[in-house]
Amino acid sequence: MERGESTVQGEGAGRGGVVLLSGGIDSTTVLAQARAKGYRVFALTVIYGQRHRAEVEAAKRVAAALGVAEHRVVEVALGSFGGSALTDRRLTVPEGEGPVRSDRIPPTYVPARNTVLLALALAWAEVLGVFDLFIGANAVDFSGYPDCRPEFLQAFEALANVATKAGVEGGRFRVHAPLLFWSKGEIIRHGVALGVDYGLTVSCYQADEEGLACGRCDACRLRAAGFAAAGVPDPTRYRGISPSLKES
Amino acid sequence: MERGESTVQGEGAGRGGVVLLSGGIDSTTVLAQARAKGYRVFALTVIYGQRHRAEVEAAKRVAAALGVAEHRVVEVALGSFGGSALTDRRLTVPEGEGPVRSDRIPPTYVPARNTVLLALALAWAEVLGVFDLFIGANAVDFSGYPDCRPEFLQAFEALANVATKAGVEGGRFRVHAPLLFWSKGEIIRHGVALGVDYGLTVSCYQADEEGLACGRCDACRLRAAGFAAAGVPDPTRYRGISPSLKES
């Protein structure tokens, strides 16, 4: 929060917003920030056929812990289209040792994913009568994802305002992507300052049913590097490794 | 088809496209037109919690009859958000006797529906490597629907080209809404000329399991008026009325 800004007097006071909540670090931080700014939060988790269903359980824990007005889980079989290592078990999730490459669109890109997620958030927002959509898109870690760029977010905001009855009748939808240019370390430091318990979250692309992480995929490596950069103890529970901090 | 244009040499020759297919008159006509222009058609039916699941059966019949390359049916619980008489059984589908009013947004408007439908079509198109999206949006019958206007379709096209890997890498998505300014009568005349059997289609907002129409909702009334205007026998099967033309 900005200096002098309080929870009650924040920019979100008296406003409601739909927050896309995957259960990972970024969307959890966005939710915590929206709450800190005073927004009444409607959290939307979309199961799009991703392998990491453990994230959905994480989303439920986060939504409960951060005091949302309502949490909805909606399924859409985006994975049935194929084309992504995140939704198609025949493709391989990249693993490695060094820094995650960010100079090409990785195989974990899900075609039109953020378009579908924001479209669903817009649908719910219009029913709720709220105009603020929040997404944890990040252009630093995933510079290769076309739908994590400001051009995309601006284009969706423009679309939202002509696509809806609420927009046509004078409402003004806004797409908030507050973490767009933050490093993972900055995101984690911000969240910790807001009191977020990242032990509730799951990032691993191939987490098991209990939410235990593989420690090797791009998401795990970005996460671990983020905690290191933030200088914050990493609460992640890995498979085959004794829990580093605690059992949740 | 335009004069001198043949199926093999049409604008769609050698191209593939995703056609949003509800199983009603408009989307069926769009599909027939795309096929006549030479497109290889991938038909996408989205079950979004609408009451008229009979349309999905109609979509399957149409897809088979018109020779699509593939037909996918995808579910998304848009109806769980509420807010529309089409997806919420607590709201009433308008019925009446006179002409359908088109000067206000009707309660059958589904918030952000076409945004969600086109987002899903875009997702599949990107996986398929095709760039043409077809939607039977119509601004005449549904002048009150914000997402049946050219501004909306243009905004979605702009979005598609910044939202996707294929767009960023130089592909050019196009959103086709060829029926946008056609009357229902013109649509039906065009489809009949292309050999469409509208007996396969279902339009009724509250069709029963067998696809029998109520004859009273806005969709039924627009449909019946369309056949009358086109001067074409109406193949619709209504509940409690002996079939006018045939059993399908």
- CA B203/CA A248 separation, integer angstroms: 52
Q: Which residue has the tokens 């979309």?
A: A46
Q: A105: which chain B residues are within 8 Å (Cβ-Cβ)?
A: 165
Q: What is the pLDDT of residue A241?
A: 60
Give chain A positions within 8 Å (CB) of B149.
162
Q: What is the dihedral of CA B57, B61, B64, B70, to 10 degrees?
A: -20
Mean pLDDT, rounded, for A101-128: 84
Exposed e or buried b per residue across B96-124, where buried means at least 16 C-beta atoms within 10 angstroms of its C-beta: eeeebebeebbebbbbbbbbbbbbbbbbb
Where does the pLDDT of residue B9 fall: very low under 50, low under 70, confident under 90, or very high at 90 and above? low
Does residue A72 surpass a pLDDT of 70? yes
The mean pLDDT value for A4-29 works out to 83
Say which residue the tokens 């619980």 belong to: B77
CA distance B28 to chain A (A): 22
Contacts of A79 in chain B (CB under 8 A): none
Greater model confidence, B170 or A248: B170
Confidence at residue A1, expressed as pLDDT on a 0 to 100 scale: 37
pLDDT tens, residue by residue, B61-75: 999 999 999 999 999
Residue in chain A lying closest to B168 (CA): A146
Mutate to test the interface with A, among B164, B173, B175 (most CBs of A within 10 A): B164
pLDDT at position A7, please? Answer: 46
- Report the distance separating Cα B140 and Cα B188, nearest Å: 14
Q: Exposure of B197 by Cβ count < 10 A (0-12 exposed, 13-18 middle, 19+ buried)?
A: middle
- Other beta carbons within 10 angstroms of residue A209's beta carbon come to 8
Q: Is A77's CB within 8 Å of B75's CB?
A: yes
- The string of pLDDT tens digits covering residues B118-155 is 999 999 999 999 999 999 999 886 667 899 999 999 99
Whole-prediction pTM: 0.88
Please determine, for residue B85, whether its predicted confidence score (pLDDT) is greater than 80.
no
Mean pLDDT of chain A: 86
- The more confidently predicted of residues B29 and B169 is B29
Number of domains chain B is built from: 1
Angle at A126 between CA A123 and CA A130, to 5 degrees: 125
- pLDDT category, A248, cuts 50, 70, 90? very low
H or E segment to which residue A19 belongs: strand A16-20
In a domain, B82, yes or no: yes
What pLDDT does residue A103 have?
53
CA nearest to B28, candidates B113, B120, B138: B138
pLDDT given for residue B1 in this prediction: 37
Query: Which pLDDT tens digit goes with each residue over A45-61?
Result: 998 876 567 888 999 99
For the cut 70, the answer to whether the pLDDT of residue A116 exceeds it is yes
Asked if residue B73 belongs to a domain, the reply is yes
Counting every residue written for chain A, the total comes to: 248
For the segment A8-23, the average pLDDT, to the nearest whole number, is 89
Respond yes or no on whether ipTM tops 0.90. Answer: no
Which residues, including other chains, have CB under 8 Å from residue B6's CB and lie 6 or more apart?
A: none
The partner residue sitting opposite B123, judged by closest CB among A74, A81, A158, is A81
pLDDT band at A74 (very low <50, low <70, confident <90, very high): very high
Q: Are B49 and B64 in contact (CB under 8 A)?
A: no
User: Across-strand partners of A75?
Assistant: A47
Q: Name the residue facing A116 among B72, B119, B167 (closest C-beta).
A: B119
Interface A-B, measured as beta-carbon pairs within 8 A, has a size of 141
**Chain A: residues touching B (Cβ < 8 Å):** 72, 74-78, 80-83, 105, 109-116, 119-120, 122-124, 126-127, 146-147, 149, 151-152, 155-156, 158-160, 162-168
* Diameter over CA atoms, chain B: 56
Beta bridge partners of B75: B47
Question: Poorest-confidence range of A33-42, B14-23, B211-220?
Answer: B211-220
Q: Tell whether the model's pLDDT for residue B229 goes beyond 50.
A: yes
Q: Note the pLDDT tens digit of each residue in B28-57.
A: 999 999 999 999 999 999 988 765 678 889
**C-beta atoms of A109 and B146 within 8 A:** no
Average pLDDT over residues B3-9: 46
Mean pLDDT, residues B6-22 taken together: 83
Residue in chain A lying closest to B116 (CA): A119
Q: Is residue A239 part of a domain?
A: no
Q: What is the pLDDT of residue B215?
A: 92
Q: Is residue A24 part of a domain?
A: yes
Q: What is the pLDDT of residue B112?
A: 92
User: What percentage of chain B exceeds 90 in pLDDT?
Assistant: 60
Residue A92: the pLDDT is: 66
Within-domain flag for A236: no
pLDDT of residue A173: 97
CA atoms within 13 A on the CB side of A154: 4
**pLDDT of res. B10:** 83
Distance (Å) from the alpha carbon of B211 to chain A's nearest alpha carbon = 25
More confidently predicted of B7 and B49: B49
- Domain presence at residue B175: yes
Minimum CA–CA partner of B107 in chain A: A165
B57 assigned to some structural domain: yes
User: Would you say residue B160 has pLDDT above 70?
Assistant: yes
pLDDT for the residue numbered A93: 64
Q: What is the pLDDT of residues B189-211, one digit of tens each?
A: 999 999 999 999 998 888 888 88
Identify the domain containing residue A182 by its residue range: 16-98+106-230
- CATH number of residue A41's parent domain: 3.40.50.620
| Rounded CA separation A218/B151 (Å) | 39
- Would you list which residues of chain B are within 8 Å, Cβ to Cβ, of chain A? 72, 74-78, 80-83, 105, 109-116, 119-120, 122-124, 126-127, 146-147, 149, 151-152, 155-156, 158-160, 162-168
Q: Say whether A78 and B158 touch across the interface (CB within 8 A).
A: no
- Residue A137 clears pLDDT 70, i.e. is over it: yes
Minimal CA separation from B147 to chain A, in Å? 5
Instruction: Name the one residue in this structure whose structure tokens are 């960023």.
Output: B168
Q: Which of A116, A119, A164 is facing B146, going by the closest CB pair? A: A164
Q: pLDDT band for position A34 (50/70/90)?
A: very high
Q: Name the more confident of B145 and A200.
A: A200
Between B196 and B92, name the one with better pLDDT: B196
Q: Looking at the predicted structure, is the pLDDT value of residue A6 above 60?
A: no
Choice between B3 and A169, residue whose per-residue pLDDT is larger: A169
**Lowest-confidence pick of A6-20, A126-140, B182-196:** A6-20
Q: What is the pLDDT of residue B72?
A: 95
Q: What is the mean pLDDT of chain B?
A: 86
Determine, yes or no, domain membership for B5: no
Q: What is the pLDDT of residue A243?
A: 47
Greatest mean pLDDT among A84-98, A190-204, A211-225 = A190-204
